[in-house]
Amino acid sequence: MDAWTTLRAGELTGLDPANDGADGAPPTSGWRYPGQPRSSDDRLAPLHRAAAGGHAELIAPLLDAGAALELRTAGGRTALMLAARMGHWTCVDALLAAGAETAATTHRGETALIGAACEGRPAVVSRLLSAGAPLDQTSGGIGAVQHAAQHARAAKVACREHRGRASNGDALRFVDGRIERDGVLLDWPRSVALLDEPGLGHAVRHYLGALASVVLLAEAGADLSLRTRNGASLFHSLAEVGEPALLDYVTDWRLAADNGTTPSHAVAISRRPDGLDHALAAGASVDVRDGAGLTPLHHLADQGAPAEMIHMLLDAGADPRAPVTSSRVYPEGWTAVDIARKWNDGATLAVLKGRGRIANDS
């Protein structure tokens, strides 16, 4: 069966009929592209199917046959938006060449650029930027660069550790945002060069692609100051990711979200010693408190962090006896030592005691 026939039958490769999205409603049609909400009763038009399925060779024939370039799905997406989210850059190229509108938005404000950034599709982000896609459009109050950073953070949390094989057989290991290749820790340029390695797994490639998209968007002049409804910023997301190569975009380490959390707190729980080292050199604070009265050291004791990171904070002047100043999370007056003891974190206690700061503490 050729591509045209399968297109008309709604059975294109890469479009899983069993993937019904995640919003809980039963499917109302038998064919969907991956990620399409179940609540949509949208039986996609042929142009949408071609774009979502990566069939660039069908774009021009469909348009020549009268397909509407800006036709919307029930969810408000155009063919360009579908191709962008799925990472089908050849379809994006074909649609852009046909004059597709890069500034089109869904009712939620999503654009092709925001969709590509969310899904970690740097090749598509680059093409859309070259085509003049607006950087100032927002969805949920934030732009594509903030969405990309948020998705990178979420992907890192979702896949704390992953093992796989490169196409040449090299062993790959992803741990807390860092990649090892045959036991050698890779820097950012060599890590992102592995973006297309299937052995890394989808979550890791999503993480790398989203961070690469952050760089592209930031360097293109995106507004880095936009904040979410709860006051979180690009700085918070990048700090929690902890990738040193991207921490230079963080210009205010004391910027507080609505809950008082700052990038200085976020980098402390990144589990990235190299990121914390970079942040401290760039001005991250060791004594700033969040809305729960916690310092970065309190957060380390709460999360259980590599000993190296505790040493870094202590070397930078963090006080292990500094009290919690609010009862929102822990009893007021508790110290990092008390928090570590609550969680039976012997390793953290050993570091604190080993530094001689609480030698008489039992």
**Dihedral class, residue 201 (left if φ above 0, else alpha if ψ from -120 to 50, else beta):** left
**Which residues, including other chains, have CB under 8 Å from residue 312's CB and lie 6 or more apart?**
273, 276, 277, 280
Those residues with Cβ within 8 angstroms of residue 283's Cβ, 6 or more apart along the chain or in another chain: 253
Q: What is the pLDDT of residue 275?
A: 97
Shortest CA distance to 158 belongs to which of 195, 111, 82, 210? 210
Cα 129 to Cα 132, 143, 209, 270: the distances in Å are 5, 14, 16, 30
**pLDDT of res. 43:** 64
Determine the length of the chain.
362
- What pTM did the predictor assign? 0.86
Question: Which residue type is seen at 156?
Answer: K
Per-residue model confidence as pLDDT tens for the chain (362 residues): 344 344 443 333 333 322 222 222 222 233 334 444 443 434 689 999 999 999 999 999 999 999 999 999 988 999 999 999 999 999 999 999 999 999 999 999 999 999 999 999 999 999 999 999 999 999 999 999 999 999 999 999 999 899 999 999 999 999 999 999 999 999 999 999 999 898 999 999 999 999 999 999 999 999 999 999 999 999 999 999 999 999 999 999 999 999 999 999 999 999 999 999 999 999 999 999 999 999 999 999 998 889 999 999 999 999 988 999 999 999 999 999 999 999 998 998 889 877 755 544 44
Domains, the chain, ordered by start:
3-101 (1.25.40.20), 134-222 (no CATH), 233-242+259-362 (1.25.40.20)
- Cα R_g (the chain), whole angstroms: 23
Q: Which of 284, 285, 279, 273 is nearest to 351 (CA)?
A: 273
